[in-house]
Amino acid sequence: MGSSVFHFIDLIGTFAFAISGALAAINRNLDIFGIFVVAFITACGGGVLRDICLGSFPPAGMINLQYFIVVALAVFLSAFFQKLLLRLTQPTLFFDAIGLGFFASFGVHKAYLFTENIEFSILMGVLTAVGGGILRDVLITSIPTVLTKEIYASAALIGAILQILGEKGLLNGATASWSAIIVCSSIRLLSLKFKWNLPAVKQIR
């Protein structure tokens, strides 16, 4: 796939995470600036952490005005279509799940371009996907979703592995990316709907 398709995938992920961040911030009664800050950090935080780990400076999410515009649009839509969005049972987590798939795919793609290291690229896919949500949750002082009893980072991991099959040429590029996105987001959404959990280690104490 061309790089413009990947840029589009990155922007969709940004948009979805920005909505998830904005809804979480509205829920905490933050002011409009605070909502923008939380939305921006949720949307761009994973990518900024990935670019820092790649040694790619300045991080893309900070130097490119497109991300600001996408986040501003998401904040605007979240504020004005709250009623509609809040009909979803867990709106923050719904948009978070969409972003998860897009960012797992894009994160692997960018890291593999830079390093051609399979393990590192998979890790960067997962970091891109879960990093923004972790920062969002730490800032609003919740225990990060990634650490609670739900399928989350594991969905990102499956998406990242599908994407790496495309990078290595084991799958057609477009097939790999779209299946990474769809499988990852679907697993996460289905786990929310049917309350799938991974087993916890039985605590003895």
Tell me the closest approach of the beta carbon of residue 166 to a second copy, in angstroms: 21
State both tokens at 179.
Answer: 């299946």
Tell me the closest approach of the beta carbon of residue 186 to a second copy, in angstroms: 18
CB closer to a second copy out of 8 and 120: 120
Tell me the closest approach of the beta carbon of residue 165 to a second copy, in angstroms: 19
CA 91 to chain centre: 15
Please count the CA atoms within 13 angstroms of the CA of 126 that sit on its side-chain side. 14
CB closer to a second copy out of 170 and 201: 201
CB closer to a second copy out of 76 and 174: 76
- 199: cis peptide before it, omega within 30°? no
Measure the CA–CA gap between 60 and 10, rounded to whole angstroms.
Answer: 11
CB closer to a second copy out of 78 and 185: 78
At position 80, the amino acid (one-letter code) is F
Residue the block writes with tokens 């005005």? 65
> Which residues contribute to the site for a second copy (CB under 8 A)?
25-35, 37-38, 48, 52-55, 57-59, 62-63, 65, 68, 79, 82-83, 86, 115, 117, 119-120, 123-124, 134, 138-144, 146-154, 197-201, 203-205
CB closer to a second copy out of 82 and 186: 82
Measure the CA–CA gap between 171 and 174, rounded to whole angstroms.
Answer: 8
Tell me the closest approach of the beta carbon of residue 83 to a second copy, in angstroms: 5
The closest alpha carbon to 100, from 201, 5, 203, 20, belongs to: 20
Tell me the closest approach of the beta carbon of residue 22 to a second copy, in angstroms: 9
